[in-house]
Amino acid sequence: MSLLLNGIGVSRGIAIGRAYRYEQESPEIVERRLATADLPAEIRRFRRALQRAKAELKGVRDRIPENAPADVGTFIDTHLLMLEDGLLAQAPIQHMRALHCNAEWALKLQYDELVATFDAMEDAYLRTRRDDVAHVIGRIQRLLAGHEATSAPASRGDVVVAGDLSPADIASLHDARVAGVITEFGGPLSHTAILLRSLEIPAVVGTHAALRLIGSGETLIIDGDAGLVLAGAAPSLQRHFRERLRRDRVRRATLAKSVLLPGITLDRHVISLQANIELDADLAALRRLGPTAVGLYRTEFLFINPKASPPGEEEQLRAYRKALRALRGSALTIRTYDLGGDKLFDGDMRDGQISPNPALGLRAVRLSLREPAPFAAQIRAILRASAQGPVRLMLPMLTDLSELDQCLALIAEQREALRRAGRPFDPDLPIGAMIEVPAAALTAEAFARRLDFLSIGTNDLIQYTLAIDRTDEMVNHLYDPLHPAVLQLIRLTLEGGARAGIPVAMCGEMAGDARYTRLLLGLGLREFSVPINRLAEIRHVIRNSDCGALSQPADALLATPDRAERLRRLQEINRDLDPAV
C-alpha cells in the first residue's frame, strides 16, 4: 500500500532509499525537592552532565571531514558556545539553589524561560533559534537521565526518518552519506534546515506522523522541491523519480560550471547578483566563490547571543572588518539590527515586558530609535569599517519619513563625532533602506529621493500585506508571493527607485527562489541578493532569460486575479527552463 506525506521541503532534490528510523528517547522530567545538604551533590551532577555534553559535541566536531562545508563546524561551535554561556551553565544552578529542586527540573525551567523569549520575537528566522536551545538542553537532559550518547548510525544511501535532528546529528549523517532526511518537526529557517541545504541533502520536515507511519527498511522517495514523501510507490512512479534524480544530478553539474560566470541575460542586461550572509561560515563560502558583493549582512547574530549587554562598537567593528577582508574589495551592505522588542539588550529594556504582538510592536528601526545608545554604537562601527573597504548602511523596516529623518540625523551626529575624534570613515558612505512594510512600498519614491539605494524585503512585505504568519501551520498555505497586491507593491517600489534615479535590489526569500527569477526580471528587478547556496541556480536562470520578452508575461500575471491561473502563467514563463528549476 502506498503512502503520501506532505511536509515542508527545506532542501531541494530527489532522494530514493530505504527508511532508517532514528529515534531518541526523551526522558520524563519531574520535579524533586531536595534538602539543603543534598544541593552540592546535585550541582556537581549537573556540571558533570554539562562537561559530558561539551565532550560529545567536540568529538563530533573532530570527526568532521576536512572537505565538509564550513557550516557544519560553525553550527556545532554555536552549540558549544551555548554550553559555555551563563544562561545554560549558571542559571539552572541558581534555580536549584533558590527552589531546592533537582537539576532536570531547574534545566526545564530555564528552557521554558529561554523559549518564551525566542517565541516572542517577530522575526521568523530569529524565532527558530529556539530549536538550538531545545537541541542543547535536550542533550544535557538525556545525560542527566543516564542515557548514552546516540549518533545516527545510518548507512550510505539510507533515508533517515526522525522526530527532529540537531546540527551534530546532521554532521554524522553527512559522514555516513545518507540519501535524504525526513523529520516530523522543524521549519525552513532552522539551523538544521540551513545545514541540510548547505550539504545538499534532500529533506522534508514537518511531516508530523512520519515515525508512526513509516516502517524500518521501507523504500522511500523524497521530493525536496515539492515537500513530499512517498512510501511503497508503484514501480512506474519509482522509475519517474529515478529519472528526476538523474536529471537533478545533471543540473547540479551544469550549475557548478556556471557559478563564476557573469549574470548577463540573453538580451545583454547586466544583472547584479549578490549574497546574503550572517555567519562566519558564509564568509568561508564566499571566499570559495570568488568576487561577490554582499547585498545583506544580517547583524542580528552579533546581538542575540545571550549576554548582559549588546556588543560594543569595537566588537562590531572587528566583525565588519573580518567580512570586508573576506570580500576582498567587493561591497558589503550592512543592515542595522532588526530585533524585536523583547528583552534582548538588558534588564531595563521595556521593564522586561514582551510585546503582546511583536509583529506590530517595537522592533527594527523603532527599537533602534527608542534605544539610541546601542544603535549609535552600531552606526559608529559601520562608519569606521567603511574606511577599510566599500561599505553600505541599510536601515530595516522603515514606515514613515519621520523615522528616516531621525535615523539620518543620528548618522550625521555620529559622523561628526568621529570627525572630531580623528577617526577615519568614508564621508560618502551610501545609505539605503529596506522596503518591507506596505506603507513604505506605497511611498517608495519619497524614501528613494532621500536615500542612495533601496532593497525589497519580501519576507515581511508578503506577511504584512496578506496578514499571514508564514511560520503558523494553520495559515501558511495562504502565504502567496504571487498575490497581485504583493506584486503591485514590488512594482511600485521598483518604479519609485527608477524615478528617483537610485538602484533597487531584492534580498528576501523570493529573490532566492528560481521559480520567481524570470517574473522579477519581467517586473524590472535588476539586483538580486540571495542565500549563497542559491547563487548558482539564480545565475543560471538569469543567463537563460530575455528581459525584453518577459515584460508582457509579467504584466499579464500581475493582472490575473485567480491563484491557480497565476501559477499556470508562472509555469508558462518558466516553460523552457530545466523542470527541476
Ligand-binding annotation for 6, yes or no, is: no
Chain-centre distance for alpha carbon 457: 13
Is residue 277 helix, strand or coil?
strand
Ligand-binding annotation for 436, yes or no, is: yes
Strands 219-223 and 203-205: unpaired
Ligand-binding annotation for 247, yes or no, is: no
Do residues 367 and 340 lie in contact, with contact meaning Cβ atoms separated by under 8 Å? yes
CA atoms of 478 and 474, how far apart (whole Å) = 9
CA atoms of 330 and 348, how far apart (whole Å) = 39
CA atoms of 437 and 360, how far apart (whole Å) = 11
State how far the alpha carbon of 281 is from the alpha carbons of 53, 98, 198, 342, 358, in Å: 23, 40, 10, 27, 29
CA atoms of 229 and 397, how far apart (whole Å) = 37
Ligand-binding annotation for 298, yes or no, is: yes
Catalytic residue annotation = 191, 507
Task: Give the cell for residue 171.
Answer: 554532521
Ligand-binding annotation for 469, yes or no, is: no
CA atoms of 250 and 313, how far apart (whole Å) = 48
**Crossing angle (nearest 10°) for helices 191-198 and 167-176:** 20
| DSSP result, 75-121 | HHHHHHHHHHSHHHHTHHHHHHHHHTB-HHHHHHHHHHHHHHHHHT-
Give the full edge-to-edge strand order of the sheet including 159-162. 3-6, 228-231, 219-223, 14-22, 159-162, 180-183, 203-205, 8-11
State how far the alpha carbon of 99 is from the alpha carbons of 66, 102, 238, in Å: 46, 9, 58
CA atoms of 371 and 374, how far apart (whole Å) = 7
Residue 57 sits at φ, ψ, to 5 deg, of -65, -40
Q: Which of 75, 532, 461 minimizes the C-alpha distance to 301?
A: 75
CA atoms of 565 and 458, how far apart (whole Å) = 22
Q: Which amino acids are annotated as binding site for Mg(2+), given as ranges?
A: 436, 460
Q: Which residue positions form the known binding site?
A: 298, 335, 436, 459-460, 470
Binding-site residues for phosphoenolpyruvate sit at: 298, 335, 459-460, 470
